[in-house]
Chains A and B, each alone.
Chain A
Amino acid sequence: MSSLIAQFHAEGNAARRVACRLCGYEHVRVPLARGQRAGCVRCGTMLEKRGRFGPHAPLAFALTGIILAIPSVTLPLITVSKIGNIRMSLVYSGAGALWDHGMRILATWVFICGTLAPVLLFATLGALIAARRELDPAMSPRLLRAAHALEYWAMPEVHVLAVLVALIKLGTLVNVFIGPGFWCYTAMSVVLALAWRSFEFESTEPAAGARRAFSA
């Protein structure tokens, strides 16, 4: 943590308060400069940060993710061949195979964690940012709960590692070609992490630099 910034007093209105998400200690928000982070004075957990990408980063990442989601689920993920037989698989082919073997609940679960939840999370983040800005602020608590639930079970990064492990394992058995869908899916998983981090911890206080710019 580059610098530790936290302040607490008894007064101060509720909207400017932030409770530590781990130990529950309440703090009063202070303006942060770009690249600065605020940590809990009691347990040290990061409370907020002002990212280097600016205030529009969460929306930009969410839109990027929605765009990347389309080729991720439609283009071939991996193509394998064995003595002239070629088989192409998509990102949800694994869930389909589990379904075909009668493991339907597991298939649904794998489909949710690997495909559905990441895509829905991008859509929810986009809707949430729009709702906060102008559309319908009353919707945001419900959308926020949905976003947290989706984030909990969206694990494209684990899926990417599993595919890489499988590819190394398969390399001796069959010929493997990485398809464009895999690159789009990997990029989507990186953007998901960036979107969530910039969204979850982004400070809502005006930046210290911005305030100076206005008074100058």
Chain B
Amino acid sequence: MTPSAAPPPPAPGPPLALALAGTIMMVPANLLPVLSTNLTGQTRSDTIISGIVALWEDGMWGIAAIVFTASILIPVLKLLGLGWLLLAVRWPPRDGRRRRTLFYAVLDFIGRWSMLDVFLVAFLAGTVKFGALASVEPRTGIVAFTAVVVLTVLATNAFDPRWLWVEASNPDERTAPDPDGPAGQTP
């Protein structure tokens, strides 16, 4: 009945390796400063977290929430989520394949938004250049953070969601339209 080609055998090695590399890079990305601000002679360095805290204390809660989501929440969610999906490939649960496929699509979509902080630091460094009066300079942490983003995106890309369907049965006959019908349309 089903014309589906056999799903590819799961190869969890590459996504696992990339996700582990991303996890390791999370350490320097969050400990090293990502930028330093020089305001009329006073210099302060900010890590990702201290930058978010500073925004929060300045009353910019919305912006703080956006940066927190993009820089902390999404990378952590992606790494934990990939781990969960890899476990589901190794020990397939009996149901919930649709839910996990949707979850993979969400992980795949949100990954790029982590680049927000990288663009933010680049833009500030390229714009605020008033010498001793006011200037922003990039710091090494941003390189490590970009590595986290790229590694997690590559890890998601290396994961093939068809692995979730290796032992899946065919869709229920009730959901399949009549093959001889005009266009199989349901209103």
Contacts and interface: CB of A to CB of B under 8 A. Distances in A.
Interface stretch (B17-25, B75-83, B87-95, B170-178): B170-178
Interface of A is mostly: mixed
Given A94-B123, A166-B124, A8 B2 contact: yes
B115 A113 contact: yes
Contacts of B162: 22-24
Given A45-B101, A82-B134, A114-B119, A174 B128 contact: yes
Which of A5, A9, A158 has the most CB atoms of chain B within a 10 A radius of its CB? A158
B157 interface: yes
Contact of A170 (B7, B128, B170, B181): B128
Contact of A158 (B97, B98, B112, B181): B112
Given A31-B183, A166-B127, A103 B143 contact: yes
A22 B156 CA distance: 12
B42 interface: no
Nearest to B98: A43
Contacts of B126: 89, 93-98
B156 to A, nearest CB: 10
B179 interface: yes
A213 to B, nearest CB: 16
A159 B119 contact: yes
A3 B1 contact: no
Contacts of B63: 165, 168-169
B130 A82 contact: yes
Given A22-B104, A87-B130, A155-B112, A163 B60 contact: no
Q: Number of contact residues on A: which range applies?
A: 35 or more
A161 interface: yes
A41 interface: yes
Nearest to A168: B63
A114 B122 CA distance: 11
A30 B177 CA distance: 11
Interface in A159-197: 159, 161-163, 165-166, 168-170, 172-174
Given A23-B101, A169-B60, 4 more contacts: A8-B3, A23-B164, A23-B165, A25-B2
Interface of B: 1-5, 7, 39, 55, 58, 60, 63, 66-67, 97-98, 101-102, 104-105, 112-113, 115-130, 133-134, 137-138, 142-143, 146, 150, 153, 157, 161-162, 164-165, 168, 170-171, 175-177, 179, 181, 183-187
